[in-house]
Amino acid sequence: MKRVSLARICALVLCAVLCAGLLTLCGVRPALAESAAVQAQDGSTLVRLSRISVDPARLAAYRAFLKEEIEASMRLEEGVLVLYAVSEKEQPHRFTILEIYADGAAYKRHLQTPHFLKYKEGTRSMVRELELIDASPLIPGLKIK
């Protein structure tokens, strides 16, 4: 199993907190259904941070694929509660995506959707590094305003 430093964990937690704050500042208010709130309280939600590094020469194309995939997922998939992507200011080819799914089944369905498969295939040659980090919410059931 890969060891992760305490500094890296702190940075990832800070990133998740900043993503939630950015959502609030931008006026984004994801609609979490009552059932989603109940699922969050019983621990069945799937929370993940995806860290992605892409070829800087293909940044514009990658951003277009990612934007299309996130917008389609949020619009079409009830089990996708949050997909929020940010890029680093100093290294804009490095992305972190906060992903929250109603449960593991919603995540598995997401992986089979046409829009996700289009994103995955279209960006395969652009992605240099991918790290998927499963996370646990500090306050389960907390809704983003």
Q: Please indicate, yes or no, if residue 117 is contained in any of the structural domains.
A: yes
- For residue 14, give the amino acid letter: L
**Prediction pTM value:** 0.71
Q: Which domain holds residue 88?
A: 6-135
Q: Is residue 143 part of a domain?
A: no
CA distance 85 to 93: 12
The phi and psi torsions of 110 (rounded to 5 degrees) equal -55, -40
Residue 69: how many other CB atoms lie within 10 Å: 22
| CATH code where residue 113 lies | 3.30.70.100
Q: Is 68 within a domain?
A: yes
Number of domains in the chain: 1
Please report whether residue 145 resides in a domain.
no
Per-residue pLDDT 10s for the chain (145 aa) are: 445 444 454 455 445 544 444 444 444 444 433 334 334 445 689 999 999 999 999 999 999 999 999 999 999 999 999 999 999 999 999 999 999 999 999 999 999 999 999 999 999 999 999 999 999 988 887 877 7
As a whole number of angstroms, the distance between CA 142 and CA 145 comes to: 9
